[in-house]
Structure 1
Amino acid sequence: MIRALAAALTFAAGSALAQESVVSAPGAVLRGLDKVNGQTVDVEVAKGETAEVFGLDVALGDCRYPVDNPTGDAYAYLTIWERDARQAVFDAWMIASSPALSALDHARYDVWVIRCMTP
């Protein structure tokens, strides 16, 4: 019983420590790809703002990164929809180091997180 309690406290302390080492950034750098012609574009989006990436509107809810690795392990909450459409085609967290884990599923365009904008 005591070992289980100690393990639970260790896990909770580790989770709290991991949460403290993550910082919210003022914005994110995203990359868009037009799969038809191979054109790419990099776009900076501020938190709470919407940017156009080819035929898509991309809203950034938040971009977070670990203090010890701000460029490699960034993750952002993105809402993506086609222009003049009401329903989002993507509404989730996307991880910069592993964009395939939570990817936009669109026939023509691809969007992924490159990094958070750090102050």
Structure 2
Amino acid sequence: MPDYQNAQQRYRAQMHGGGLFMKHDDEDESSPKAKRQRATAAEVTERKKQELADREAKAKQKLKDQKAATVRAKEIQAAKDKCKAELEAESARYQKELEKAKSAHTERESKIRQKRDDRITALSAE
């Protein structure tokens, strides 16, 4: 039977000048052209898979970098807040010391004035 079908296909190919009934090279699974096309298709498929894997890897890396940047930004903000709190505490401490010093200075000035006034009064009494 197969020989009969092949003969019939050859007859149709000759009668119709090739056309629809002619078997082409790319239809033959063992032809070099079909092999090249299969190899090319496999290469394209492999390349597409690799590109997809590369894009996925890039996306994962980008997400990982964004998470790391977010964590780093939070750490930086925490450090800034800590430094600001320390600075405010130190500033308050120095402000208290300044107030004490001003108070002590005012007391000394007041004592000096009092002594001066006492001397002036003593001298005027004489």
Query: Which has more radius of gyration?
Result: 2
More strand by share: 1
TM-score category by the smaller chain? under 0.3
* TM-score, with structure 1 as normaliser: 0.22
* TM-score, with structure 2 as normaliser: 0.21
More helix by share: 2
